[in-house]
Amino acid sequence: EAQVTQNPRYLITVTGKKLTVTCSQNMNHEYMSWYRQDPGLGLRQIYYSMNVEVTDKGDVPEGYKVSRKEKRNFPLILESPSPNQTSLYFCASSLYGSVDYEQYFGPGTRLTVT
């Protein structure tokens, strides 16, 4: 089944404790991205990657890191999480080059930083 998976789905952590949220897709998509969704602010893009070893900042990259060493994986790293990073995070992928750019989203990761 074609899908985007994220792990963990739920995470409660403390300020300053490094964490990684994994994202993996099995559709051979070139493009992957991370979003956070907050009430009243909608979905905002954190980072995106056009292909392996190519990453770019979205609109809210501060406090996050990403890497794209393999086509299928795009982990999101929070080196020192803070409470303002409490949010619902979505990973997405798409077949870049398609005019439709349909984004296939993962199920989301709900992160709480205390």
Partner 1 sequence: RKEVEQDPGPFNVPEGATVAFNCTYSNSASQSFFWYRQDCRKEPKLLMSVYSSGNEDGRFTAQLNRASQYISLLIRDSKLSDSATYLCVVIRGSQGNLIFGKGTKLSVKP
Q: Which two tokens stand for residue 69?
A: 């060493």
Distances (CA, A) of 81 to 71, 78, 99: 26, 6, 36
Question: What are phi and psi for residue 85, nearest 5 degrees?
Answer: -100, 5
Q: What is the DSSP string of 39-90?
A: TTTEEEEEEEEEETTEEEE-S--TT-EE--SSSSB--EEESS--GGG-EEEE
In the complex, least distance from residue 17 CB atom to partner 1, rounded to whole angstroms: 25
**What's the token pair of residue 70?**
């393999």
Going residue by residue from 57 to 86, which x/- string records binding to partner 1, judged by CB under 8 A?
-xx---------------------------
What's the closest the beta carbon of residue 2 comes to partner 1, in angstroms?
13
Segment lying near partner 1 (by CB under 8 A), choices 11-19, 43-51, 62-70, 77-85: 43-51
CB of 16 to partner 1, least distance (A): 28
Binding map of partner 1 across residues 88-107, x = CB under 8 A, - = no contact: --x-----x--xxxxx-xxx
Q: Which chain residues interact with partner 1 by CB under 8 A? A: 31, 33, 35, 40-45, 48, 50, 56, 58-59, 90, 96, 99-103, 105-108
